[in-house]
């Protein structure tokens, strides 16, 4: 139809031109001149016509080429996501313009089932023109979406600087299995079922002596396979799979992706995540095969080697569904059922905490290829007659849910910076950087010889790997099947390490010299959650740059399937870091999906009485403050609030409101006259004893302080959700807690809280518990107290963030600089001086505790919000109203800082000139506004690039 219309218009143009020149000919125009003008006019006509046609094409959806651009289209805040689980997903985009003060005035979203329909007449949704500046989290409101389908969408945006709207380039999203009944025909399958009498759930800490013969043996790591034939032309094929605890998936002999330890960890009795794959390109006409190898992960952890906990929820299991759409409109499904085959794999041992072994002699070549009867002529096939049929199992009981959080990926490779081969039986590789990850070895050895790789973040005095503080023994082992070069890496188990020791054993199990195998290469592979990096910081101070990298490595190494405390000893989601380090992390990585998952983990972990335990998922039940500490459980209230502030998605508050209410109610039942005094307190503060529970600050200060802060924030959340009665209730309760806190801990004569520790001052000042009339004197006393201790840090995990933020909020960044720009006392510089390459668990970088933690990394937030000055204005969410207020420190001459917010990139660069003037350059994204405060002068600016100079 479009071609016919264009053809008609072209004929009409030619006819019109011909009529004009026929009249001129009759009037006596010279023939040669007539022909020349006629040809020129025809060319002009064609040129004009194609401009008009192009403009018409743009009006129905061609991408913008004008003065502003619509880009970075996201569905569920993901670019071109595969397998979204929401039936009404949200849409977001960013705007870019070369002009200043650009604001979106309206938008129009179109969604269609094909690119052609999107271009002509969208069949799923056309929002029409909506007058709004909103460009994030706009919910789909069209026809019902179908499972396992690909949809295309685009958005048209109108701006205040242009009367004409501009279309984005098209984007797409693929739905997952949107309703639970879509899984009904896919069974959970296993190699074997764990008898109920042998189950240990939830997990228990310790040696497990009380468990008798339970969790003694390691779980078998099985292969699963299914082959099938296809004989039609394929339009698309989407595969949805969950392998618990962790799986690797193959199609026709090829691994379907490059990610690591899927699916995301969860409480399997409540929520079982599945991953989605587009396997269209893997399939072929004729015989095909899908295969998986499944390891126990957190489903089963036995007593062999190191274990932080013991758990036996079940043996490894698999659930899979593949939907193949043909071009003729028909479809075919491949599901896990009793026709699948299984066998023991060449992975002979796999443990989250103990490592992984692989015996190449047990490898079945081609196990993930089509069977001999289905293979194509001349192609390899596999004989699975010796394999047994799978066992159907009920599954762990959790609801199947699409994983929308980013998977763990391989982020960076490190070659060894040195190899110590002085000890012939133990070579030690130094990769120069402490990372979370695995190694990849390329080597050649005799049949039956085994190579043992021992990772460690420290070395002992005798230059051998030291796992004393990180969980031992842990190792990876590979057994050779013949004298040929092989390349191998662990599929399922990672560790935190800088060093790797190498040992070799012969076929009799006797240790021999390492040079009995030929090691071609050994690489360190860093693994990290795939959340995109969004921030960068650098400054003129070399120590601060080193500290920035130190903290960032602590963050990177602990962003896994949960926010771990450490990547080796525990690998558990200790919750205090989710809120204390949240701001630091969000300046560096896009953590919306990651933190959404943390919120779900907390909801699943919450007990019937309202308690949110210190870890989530709660794979193991600890006792006392290690299960119930208000500073940890408060993440259930603070994290949803922070995520809403960072990204502006109110839906997060709606979904988690019940959890928040129940937790505050739980604290209220435990309170005695509005006071709490239990838990771990200011963990790892610096006192007279080795680090552990709070030494300098009373437990009541932190426990009651967070009880107040949770209640205050819950009141704000209720107001945002227009629950006025709740807002009033929480406000009244917060006032009562504040009054009780001040009565108990504030000395109104000396203006000192409790013991006068850094945390005792900072918490009530930051939480706004302190009476207004005493705030100035309390701040002065905090500063004086710090100075009296020679500007040394004494606050711990809980208090230090509030020390930094209290000083920053009151213009005292010079104090922060003095406390942290040094190497002579325990702190960041002290850790670096002792050789740390990632943030350590203790300020003193003790060898007896983890040397890879992200707790205590709160200076990272100050780098961005203090030195960079990037914050939000009061009441803003999603960085729609930006505040730029850098604090200029005498010892720093320049800062470069950028943060790509949900609404676009914010950049701040400043430098000190020779005459001590400050030159400030600011870049503000389109569709936002900003306030710049520069040495007590205030400027209101719109989007674009801006330059300022101040004395």
Q: Which of 316, 224, 236, 227 is nearest to 276 (CA)?
A: 236
Name the DSSP letter for residue 865. Answer: I
- Give the Cα separation of 422 and 437 in Å (integer): 26
Q: Which of 710, 722, 706 is nearest to 759 (CA)?
A: 706
Residues 6+ apart with CB under 8 A from 835: none
Instruction: Show the tokens assigned to 878.
Output: 């999603």
Residue 52 pLDDT exceeds 70: no
Give 597-638 pLDDT, tens digit per residue: 999 999 999 999 999 999 999 999 999 999 999 999 999 999
Secondary-structure breakdown of the chain: helix, strand, coil percentages, each rounded to the nearest 5: 30, 30, 40
Lowest mean pLDDT among 43-52, 207-216, 694-703, 894-903: 43-52
Residue 409 pLDDT exceeds 60: yes
Q: Are 319 and 274 in contact (CB under 8 A)?
A: yes
Average pLDDT value over all residues in the chain: 93
Residue 25 pLDDT: 46
Q: Which of 453, 405, 866 is nearest to 643 (CA)?
A: 405
Q: Are 326 and 234 in contact (CB under 8 A)?
A: yes
Half-sphere exposure of residue 200: CA atoms within 13 angstroms, side-chain side: 24
Q: Whose structure tokens read 């026809």?
A: 143
β strands within 162-252, DSSP E: 162-167, 171-175, 188-190, 200-205, 222-230, 234-244, 246-251
Bond before 369 cis per omega within 30 degrees: no
Residue 926 pLDDT exceeds 70: yes
Q: Are 288 and 227 in contact (CB under 8 A)?
A: yes
Distances (CA, A) of 141 to 94, 144, 613: 21, 9, 38
Residue 9 pLDDT exceeds 50: no
Residue 149 pLDDT level (bands cut at 50, 70, 90): very high
Give 428-475 pLDDT, tens digit per residue: 999 999 999 999 999 999 999 999 999 999 999 999 999 999 999 999
Residue 164 pLDDT: 84
Residues 6+ apart with CB under 8 A from 813: 807, 862, 866, 867, 887, 889
Q: What is the DSSP string of 395-459?
A: ---PEEEE--SPPEEEEEEE--SEEE-SSTT-EEEEEEEEEEEEEEEEEE--TT-EEEEEEESEE
- Give the Cα separation of 294 and 317 in Å (integer): 7
- Give the Cα separation of 799 and 753 in Å (integer): 14
Lowest mean pLDDT among 43-52, 192-201, 516-525: 43-52
Residue 376 pLDDT level (bands cut at 50, 70, 90): low
Give 665-713 pLDDT, tens digit per residue: 999 999 999 999 999 999 999 999 999 999 999 999 999 999 999 999 9
Give 729-761 pLDDT, tens digit per residue: 999 999 999 999 999 999 999 999 999 999 999
Instruction: Show the tokens assigned to 111.
Output: 């969604």
Lowest mean pLDDT among 40-49, 435-444, 670-679, 913-922: 40-49
Phi, psi of 103 (to 5 degrees): -130, 135
Classify 387 as helix, strand or coil: coil
Residue 67 pLDDT level (bands cut at 50, 70, 90): confident
- Give the Cα separation of 226 and 224 in Å (integer): 7
Mean pLDDT of the 784-807 span: 98
**Element of type H or E holding 324:** strand 317-326
Residue 49 pLDDT exceeds 70: no
Among residues of the chain, what percentage have pLDDT more than 70?
A: 93
Give 238-264 pLDDT, tens digit per residue: 999 999 999 999 999 999 999 999 999
Residues 6+ apart with CB under 8 A from 862: 804, 805, 808, 813, 816
Give 305-319 pLDDT, tens digit per residue: 999 999 999 999 999
Classify 49 as helix, strand or coil: helix
Task: State how far Cα 193 lies from the chain centre.
Answer: 33
Q: Are 685 and 757 in contact (CB under 8 A)?
A: yes
For β-strands 254-255 and 271-278, DSSP reports them as unpaired
For β-strands 331-335 and 535-539, DSSP reports them as unpaired
């Amino acid at each position: 139809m479009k071609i016919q219309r264009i053809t008609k218009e072209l004929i009409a143009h030619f006819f019109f031109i011909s009529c004009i020149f026929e009249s001129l000919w009759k009037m006596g125009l010279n023939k040669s001149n007539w022909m020349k003008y006629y040809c020129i006019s025809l060319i002009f006509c064609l040129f004009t016509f194609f401009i008009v046609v192009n403009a018409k094409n743009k009006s129905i959806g061609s991408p913008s080429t004008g003065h502003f651009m619509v880009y970075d289209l996201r569905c569920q805040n993901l670019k071109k996501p595969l397998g979204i689980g929401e039936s009404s997903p949200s849409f977001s985009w960013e705007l870019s313009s070369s002009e200043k003060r650009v604001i979106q005035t309206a938008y129009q979203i179109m969604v269609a089932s094909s690119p052609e329909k999107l271009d002509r007449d969208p069949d799923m949704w056309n929002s029409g023109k909506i007058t709004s500046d909103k460009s994030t989290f706009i919910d789909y409101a069209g026809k019902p979406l179908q499972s396992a389908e690909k949809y295309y969408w685009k958005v048209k945006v109108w701006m205040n600087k242009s009367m004409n709207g501009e279309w984005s380039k098209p984007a797409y999203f693929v739905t997952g299995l949107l309703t639970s009944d879509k899984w009904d025909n896919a069974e959970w399958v296993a190699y074997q079922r764990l008898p109920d009498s042998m189950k240990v759930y939830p997990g228990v800490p310790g040696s497990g002596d009380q468990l008798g013969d339970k969790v003694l043996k390691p779980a078998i790591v099985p292969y699963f396979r299914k082959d099938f034939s296809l004989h039609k032309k394929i339009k698309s094929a989407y595969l949805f799979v969950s392998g618990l605890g962790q799986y690797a998936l193959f199609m026709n002999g090829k691994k379907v992706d490059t990610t690591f330890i899927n699916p995301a960890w969860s409480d399997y009795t409540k929520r079982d995540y599945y991953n989605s794959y587009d396997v269209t390109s893997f399939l072929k006409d004729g015989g095909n095969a899908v295969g998986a190898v499944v390891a126990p992960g957190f489903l089963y952890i036995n007593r062999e080697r190191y274990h932080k906990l013991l758990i036996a929820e079940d043996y490894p299991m698999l659930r899979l569904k593949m939907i193949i759409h043909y071009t003729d409109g028909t479809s075919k499904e491949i599901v896990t059922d009793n026709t699948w085959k299984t066998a023991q794999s060449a992975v002979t041992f796999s443990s989250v905490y103990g490592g992984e072994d692989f015996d190449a002699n047990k490898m079945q070549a081609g196990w993930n290829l089509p069977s001999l009867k289905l293979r194509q002529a001349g192609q390899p096939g596999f004989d699975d007659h010796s394999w047994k049929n799978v066992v159907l199992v009920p599954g762990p009981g959790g609801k199947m849910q699409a994983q929308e959080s980013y998977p763990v990926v391989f982020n960076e490779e490190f070659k060894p910076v040195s190899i110590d081969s002085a000890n012939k039986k133990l070579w030690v590789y130094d990769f120069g950087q402490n990372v979370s990850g695995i190694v990849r070895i390329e080597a050649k050895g005799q049949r039956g010889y085994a190579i043992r790789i021992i990772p460690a973040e420290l070395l002992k005095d005798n230059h051998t790997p030291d796992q004393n503080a990180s969980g031992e023994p842990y190792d990876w082992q590979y057994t050779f099947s013949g004298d040929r070069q092989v390349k191998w890496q662990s599929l399922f188990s990672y560790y935190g390490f800088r060093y790797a020791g190498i040992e070799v054993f012969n076929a009799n199990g006797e240790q021999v010299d390492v040079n009995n195998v030929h090691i071609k290469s050994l690489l360190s592979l860093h693994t990290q959650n795939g959340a995109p990096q969004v921030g960068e910081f650098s400054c003129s101070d070399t120590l601060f740059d080193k500290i920035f990298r130190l903290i960032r490595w602590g963050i990177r190494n602990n962003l896994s399937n949960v926010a771990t405390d450490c990547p080796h000893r525990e690998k558990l989601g200790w919750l205090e870091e989710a809120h204390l380090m949240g701001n630091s992390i969000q300046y560096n990585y896009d953590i919306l999906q990651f933190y959404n998952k943390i919120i779900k983990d907390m909801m699943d972990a919450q007990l019937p009485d309202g308690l949110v335990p210190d870890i989530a998922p709660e794979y193991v039940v600890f006792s006392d403050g290690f299960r119930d500490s208000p500073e940890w459980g408060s993440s259930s209230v603070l994290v949803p609030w922070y995520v809403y502030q960072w990204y502006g998605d109110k839906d997060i508050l709606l979904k988690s409101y019940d959890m928040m209410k129940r937790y505050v109610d739980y604290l209220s039942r435990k309170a005695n006259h509005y006071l709490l005094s239990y838990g771990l307190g200011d963990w790892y503060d610096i006192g007279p004893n080795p680090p552990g529970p709070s030494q300098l600050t009373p437990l009541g200060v932190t426990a009651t302080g967070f009880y107040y802060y949770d209640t205050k924030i819950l009141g704000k959340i209720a107001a945002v959700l227009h629950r006025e009665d709740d807002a009033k209730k929480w406000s009244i309760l917060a006032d009562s807690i504040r009054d009780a806190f001040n009565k108990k801990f504030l000395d109104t004569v000396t203006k000192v809280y409790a013991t006068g520790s850094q945390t005792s001052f900072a918490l009530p000042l930051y939480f706004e518990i302190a009476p207004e009339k005493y705030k100035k004197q309390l701040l002065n006393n905090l500063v004086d107290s710090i100075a009296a201790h020679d500007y040394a840090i004494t606050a711990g995990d809980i208090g230090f963030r509030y020390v930094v933020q209290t000083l920053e909020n009151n213009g005292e960044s010079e104090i922060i600089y003095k406390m942290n720009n040094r190497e002579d006392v325990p702190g960041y510089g002290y850790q670096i001086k002792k050789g740390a390459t990632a943030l350590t668990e203790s300020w003193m970088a003790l060898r007896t505790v983890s040397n890879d933690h992200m707790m205590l990394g709160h200076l990272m937030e100050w780098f961005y919000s203090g030195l960079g000055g990037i914050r939000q204005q009061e009441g803003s969410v999603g960085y729609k109203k930006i505040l730029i207020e850098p604090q200029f420190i005498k010892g720093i001459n320049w800062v470069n800082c950028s943060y790509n917010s949900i609404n676009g990139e914010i950049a701040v660069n400043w430098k000190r000139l020779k005459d001590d003037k400050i030159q400030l350059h600011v870049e503000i994204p389109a569709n936002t506004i900003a306030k710049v405060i520069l040495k007590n002068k205030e400027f209101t600016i719109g989007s674009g690039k801006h330059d300022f100079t101040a004395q």
